[in-house]
Each structure stands twice: as structure tokens, then as C-alpha cells.
Amino acid sequence: MQKGMVRLAKFPLKYVLPHIGKEYFYVWVASEKKRFRVKMSTQRLQLLGRKQKCACCGLEGTYFALEYSGCVMPPHFNLYGYNRYGHEILLTMDHITPKAAGGATSNKNLQLLCEPCNQKKRDHVLSLSELRELRKK
């Protein structure tokens, strides 16, 4: 789980994927005895709807977690998978050409990376093969 996040519940892919692109999805969380309104039309979620695998290492997202940061941000879905050691790994939206280097937030410039690959890439302009080499080191 991401630092500073509060996890409300976990959901299988097939429960969340059909709702991506809608404006909102109302999710019942039994442990909270509460229904949450989740925005489903964000660019990040639309990327997660198209891709569930890290573009670099191939780590596959296996479930969504409904989480919030504990402050004013409303709950949102994050995609997670497990690495070969069974550790939970967050999959994130990455700008192929970083915003710092003039990259746009457009479908052509977005890819899905697991958190370890994204941390290695940082704000560099790297091809996937260059990123794979960097990950080996």
C-alpha cells in the first residue's frame, strides 16, 4: 500500500474495469457500512482501464484497492499486483516524455509502470529497453 494511504477495501479487476470512463461509480464498503462516490473518468483511471501490465517489467495488476489519503482527497482506485516475492506493488501512470521535459498529459505520452520501474525512470527520457537495463543494475 502506498505511504499515507488508508485502504478501505480491495476489489477484483472485473468489478471495477466495466465502470472506468463513467463519471462516478458508487461503491459499497461493508467494513465501513458506507457507500462511496468514486470519480471514474480521470485520465489515470482510463489508462488503468486500457492496460494492467507494467510496460517495462510486465508486472500484472491483479486487483484494485479503494484508498484515500486521509485528508480532503476523496477515495479513489489504485491498481496493485504482486511481485515474484509476493509483495504488493502499486502500478502508476507515467509520462513517457516527462512533464519537466515538456511532455504532455495525453494518451500517446502515457504508459503504465509499476512503482519500482517508475522510481528508476524518475524524470528521465528513457526508452523501455534503456529502463530495463537500468532496472538490471
Residue 134, pLDDT score: 83
> pLDDT band at 135, cuts 50/70/90?
confident
What number is the average pLDDT over the span 99-108?
92
Q: Whose CA is closest to 37, among 69, 2, 80, 68?
A: 68
Q: What percent of the chain has pLDDT over 70?
A: 99
Say if residue 77 is exposed, middle or buried (CB neighbours under 10 Å; 0-12, 13-18, 19+).
buried
Is residue 1 included in any domain, yes or no? no
In this model, does residue 3 exceed pLDDT 80? no
Band of pLDDT at residue 68, cut at 50, 70 and 90: very high
Instruction: Name the CA dihedral angle for 36, 68, 48, 120, rounded to a multiple of 10 degrees.
Output: 180
User: What's the Rg (C-alpha) of the chain?
Assistant: 15
Residue 122: give the domain boundaries. Answer: 6-136
**What predicted TM-score, i.e. pTM, was given to this entire model?**
0.91
What Å distances lie between residue 33 and 28, 36, 59, 74, CA to CA? 7, 10, 33, 17
Q: How confident is the model at residue 69 (pLDDT cuts 50, 70, 90)?
A: confident
**Tally of domains within the chain:** 1
Give per-residue pLDDT as tens, 21-42: 999 999 999 999 999 999 999 9
Instruction: Kindly indicate the confidence band of residue 97, based on its pLDDT and cuts at 50, 70 and 90.
Output: very high
Is position 114 within any domain?
yes
The confidence score (pLDDT) of residue 2 equals 66
**DSSP label of 20:** B
